[in-house]
Amino acid sequence: WIIDQGLKTALINQEMFLNYQPIVNRDGKIAGVEALIRWNHPEKGLIFPDDFIPSAEESGLINPLGQWVLEHALVDIEELNKSLDLDLFVSVNISTRQLKAADFPDILSMAIKRSAIHLKNLRLELTETFLLESPEMAISTLIKLKKDHPGLKIVIDDFGKGYSSLHYLSRLPVDCIKIDRSFIKEIPEDNNRKIINSIVNLATSMDMEMVAEGIETVEQQHYPPLENCQYFQGFLLGKPMSRKNLIQFIEG
């Protein structure tokens, strides 16, 4: 079957929806959420992003799709903050192709204006590929985005998974890194202890926050090398869920 065909009409037919996964602080309290897109296909049923984002990136449909995600995620979380008197942040995945699009700054500005979200509650998650593919463009784009939107946070997703962009890290306005779940997965085995220590030391010395991803067990959450990590995310702490279930999750 042809993903692209269905993707073209998916937004018009309202087949896309967002889930939100809690990101908790050291005390285990929810501090924010990551927005994660899902596709409810009329024939194929539920489709996860790994099965359509690459194709959307290739065709360019990631641009309208990504705009839809930004518009909805920011409104959802700002409304939730208002109605429950909370101050959660929302972390939105942005593909390289979106960041490279000339109209991305306008799309972002519009989504911010429409939602009235506080800039300190907005995080953009980028992958290392963007930084590696076009480092100079990445640096200037990110500097401009942060200048136009003071308080906006830039997050490097899946940190350490690909080729490391250590070379550019010091020149990039990065606020936070997400320690890739492949490093967390083997805990309590100590195979990655030295690497995790290095990542934590690096982030700390560069004044970057950290999120440990893929936390599935209590041992992982309390692993001593992660003691200086500010945030935790994973199935143990909350699965991706609908906005409605997120409200129930928060209200206990």
Residues that bind ligand G (CB under 6 A): 21, 36-37, 48-50, 53, 66, 69, 93, 95, 157-158, 181, 213-216, 233-235, 240
Do 20 and 248 meet the contact criterion of CB atoms below 8 Å apart? no
Q: What is the pairing mode between strands 89-93 and 45-47?
A: unpaired
* One-letter identity of residue 95: S
For ligand G, the closer CB: 72 or 146: 72
Q: Strand locations in 96-249, DSSP E?
A: 122-126, 153-159, 176-179, 209-212, 231-232
The span of 53-61, 97-105, 151-159, 179-187 binding Mn ion (CB under 5 A) equals 151-159
Interface pick for Mn ion out of 78, 157, 175, 180 (rule CB under 5 A): 157
Binding to Mn ion by CB under 5 A, coded x per residue (else -) over 79-118, reads --------------x-------------------------
| Torsion sign, CA atoms 179, 121, 132, 173 | negative
Structure tokens at 233: 């995310």
Interface pick for Mn ion out of 76, 78, 125, 128 (rule CB under 5 A): 125
Binding to Mn ion by CB under 5 A, coded x per residue (else -) over 39-78, reads ----------------------------------------
Alpha carbon 129 to its chain's center = 15
Q: With 0-12 CB in 10 A as exposed, 13-18 as middle and 19+ as buried, what is 83?
A: exposed
Residue nearest to ligand G (CB): 234
Pick one of ligand G, Na ion, Mn ion, none as the site partner of residue 67 (Cβ within 5 to 8 A by kind). Answer: none
- Residues 130-189 contacting Na ion, CB under 5 A: 157-158
Residue 4 to residue 173: CA distance in whole angstroms: 35
For Mn ion, the closer CB: 6 or 121: 121
Residue 56 to residue 107: CA distance in whole angstroms: 18
34 binds Na ion (CB under 5 A): no
Least Å distance, CB 21 to ligand G, is 6
Q: How many C-alpha atoms does 8 have within 13 Å on its Cβ side?
A: 4
Chain residues in the site for Mn ion (CB under 5 A): 93, 125, 157
